[in-house]
Structure 1
């Protein structure tokens, strides 16, 4: 009985001492907490790496199509003489965009998410290539260089800034509606000055979108994307960069005319 009492007393004293901080915490609990934090960082880094690999693949393919439509005379004649392919590409692009943006089963289910993203990339690359074919080579090169410089600057800014830009989505939504309405206005009242202003507003809008979406991918702020949404993250960044190029090309083309 004395031995049992001594064991119970020692157990109670050890628990009281650990609660007061006289003893270090359990090694097992510390190891589990450390492994959990390490897994979170590793998963986020793997997610970022996967997103940018997919994004670079998309951009390289689009760049190849734009260069082919700009430098190849046969390709330029083909895309300009077949406008029906542009509308077909737009329809397929729109369907794939809705599927990836609104349908979680398609967005997160392999390999359908990659197939939809690949088809969307092909269609959008053809549309951008056709738009580039109506501009001279110098305008396309200037627009490409400007887009690369602007996007690199925005990425570096988003990486080092302490500002949480993810709260700007409500402002960007209002700004998007303004740019959309201004675009409809430019259709009915065509003017070169209005086209230049529209190009500037559109490029500014998607530059802001790119800065916010970069922070969503990095996950350093309160709002972030889930690691399972790497296809959606690559899609959003790809659309931002391609839209910046399109508006800059519009701006450069109108300024050079």
Structure 2
């Protein structure tokens, strides 16, 4: 691995070490959905999404992408795809100031302010498409399956280039990796942790505990959306069944 690994470097290392192990497990307690992605499956989604970004959407290193998505396994895919291409993921960013926008179903009106390419995600179980086409948007679930399973950037992505904007701060790819490793160490995560996180993806803390720190520490994340709908017995049963070894800070069912 590079001395200053980017998120894409961390994913490549995880793929080389053990492609079959779980990486992202996602629960939506409003729908009952559970999705588990191995390192290999997650990396395949990232490659397809990166190819969509670089090819069909003509995104280039340094372009700004307003990411208007909740904590979700597909959001994690987009974050790693942006890192792979060199596109700056602006979490909750202003679509009007972005080169392109990726939106969930609840933020489509705001996303229309983007004058560049627009992609919409239905966030339905099994990655399903919108029941009806959304005017002015490419449907991610329609566009991504035909993309290639292997990705190679047209131009090298510099570890020191901007990669993420969150909490009003800009981080480089190498900065994300370094900060995630520091978070894992400071929090006392065990080796190869199985992290439970119900934090939203609207802050560095949510992104770190819900994706970057487990990836950097050679572990996996159980990402829970609408976890407040789960009762105490259900929450305890999930921790046991998922073999959780570390819980993200804050209320476990928030």
TM-score in terms of structure 2 length: 0.27
More strand by share: 2
Larger Rg belongs to: 1
More helix by share: 1
TM-score in terms of structure 1 length: 0.26
The answer to which structure, 1 or 2, has the higher relative contact order (CA under 8 A, 6+ apart) is 1
